[in-house]
Amino acid sequence: MSNTRINPQPKVKTPFPGPKTEKVLKDLQKYESQGDLCFANYGIPPVIEEAEGLFVKDVDGNVYLDLTSGFAALNLGHCPKEVIEASYKQMNTVHHTAQQPTAVRAQLAKKLVEMAPGKLRNKSKVQYDTGGTNAVEVGMKLAKAYTKRPYVLCYQGAYHGRSHATLSVSCFPFLKENFFPLMPGGETRVPYPYCYRCPFARKFPECELFCAKYIDGILSDPTWGLIDKKKGTNLVAGLLFEPAQGAGGYIIPPPGYWQKMREICDKHDILMIDDEIQMGWGRSGKWFSIEAWDTYPDIMMVGKAFTAGIIPNAAIIARTEIMDVLKPIHQSVTFSGNPVGSAAALAMMEVVEKKKLIENAQKMGEYFLGKLQELQEKHRIIGQVQGKGLMLSMELVKNRETKEPASDENRELIRTCVKHGLLLTISGHFGNRINLVPPLIVTKNEIDIGVKILDECLTLIEKK
Burial class (CB in 10 A: 0-12, 13-18, 19+), 7: exposed
For helices 407-419 and 444-463, what crossing angle results, to 10°? 120
Non-local (6+) Cβ contacts of 150 within 8 A are 144, 184, 185, 235, 237
Q: Give the interface segment with ligand PLP, choosing from 38-46, 158-166, 382-390, 423-431 (CB under 6 A).
A: 158-166
DSSP code for 274: E
Does position 131 interact with ligand PLP (CB under 6 A)? The reply is: yes
Which of 132, 253, 389, 439 is the binder for ligand PLP (CB under 6 A)? 132
Q: Give the interface segment with ligand PLP, choosing from 28-36, 159-167, 218-226, 446-454 (CB under 6 A).
A: 159-167
Does position 428 interact with ligand PLP (CB under 6 A)? The reply is: no
Does position 246 interact with ligand PLP (CB under 6 A)? The reply is: yes
Non-local (6+) Cβ contacts of 156 within 8 A are 171, 189, 190, 191, 192, 429
Buried b / exposed e across 238-261, counting CB within 10 Å, b at 16+?
bbbbbbbbbbbbbbbbbebbbebb
What number of chain residues touch ligand PLP (CB under 6 A)?
Answer: 16
Does position 172 interact with ligand PLP (CB under 6 A)? The reply is: no
Does position 275 interact with ligand PLP (CB under 6 A)? The reply is: yes
Does position 133 interact with ligand PLP (CB under 6 A)? The reply is: yes
Q: Which is nearer to ligand PLP, 25 or 391 (CB)?
A: 391
For the chain, the straight-line distance linking the first and the last C-alpha, in angstroms and rounded, comes to: 38
Which of 303, 309, 428, 439 is the binder for ligand PLP (CB under 6 A)? 303
Does position 124 interact with ligand PLP (CB under 6 A)? The reply is: no
Strand boundaries in 242-339, DSSP class E: 271-275, 299-302, 314-319
Q: Which is nearer to ligand PLP, 247 or 346 (CB)?
A: 247
Q: Which is nearer to ligand PLP, 162 or 197 (CB)?
A: 162
Start-end of H helices in 4-60: 19-31, 39-42
Cβ 428 to ligand PLP shortest distance, Å: 14
Q: Give the interface segment with ligand PLP, choosing from 14-22, 27-35, 127-135, 199-207 (CB under 6 A).
A: 127-135
Question: Is the backbone of residue 98 left (phi > 0), alpha (psi -120 to 50) or beta?
Answer: left
SS3 for 14?
coil
**Window 34-73: residues binding ligand PLP (CB under 6 A):** 71
Q: Which is nearer to ligand PLP, 71 or 224 (CB)?
A: 71
Q: Give the interface segment with ligand PLP, choosing from 138-146, 148-156, 274-282, 319-327 (CB under 6 A).
A: 274-282
Does position 278 interact with ligand PLP (CB under 6 A)? The reply is: yes
- Would you say 152 and 240 are in contact if contact means Cβ atoms under 8 Å apart? yes
Does position 242 interact with ligand PLP (CB under 6 A)? The reply is: yes
Which of 136, 195, 317, 343 is the binder for ligand PLP (CB under 6 A)? 136
Q: Which is nearer to ligand PLP, 132 or 421 (CB)?
A: 132
Q: How far apart are CA 323 and CA 142, in angstroms?
A: 7
Non-local (6+) Cβ contacts of 203 within 8 A are 195
Cβ 325 to ligand PLP shortest distance, Å: 22
Q: How far apart are CA 94 and CA 156, in angstroms?
A: 43
Which of 45, 117, 157, 161 is the binder for ligand PLP (CB under 6 A)? 161
Q: Give the interface segment with ligand PLP, choosing from 18-26, 128-136, 172-180, 205-213 (CB under 6 A).
A: 128-136
Q: Which is nearer to ligand PLP, 313 or 362 (CB)?
A: 313
Q: Which is nearer to ligand PLP, 86 or 277 (CB)?
A: 277
> What does 102-122 look like in DSSP terms, one character per residue?
-HHHHHHHHHHHHH--GGGTT
Cβ 160 to ligand PLP shortest distance, Å: 5
Q: Give the interface segment with ligand PLP, choosing from 50-58, 240-248, 344-352, 376-384 (CB under 6 A).
A: 240-248
Strand boundaries in 20-84, DSSP class E: 48-52, 55-58, 63-66
Q: Which is nearer to ligand PLP, 17 or 70 (CB)?
A: 70
- Would you say 292 and 284 are in contact if contact means Cβ atoms under 8 Å apart? yes
List residues binding ligand PLP (CB under 6 A).
71, 131-133, 136, 159-161, 242, 246-247, 275, 277-278, 303-304
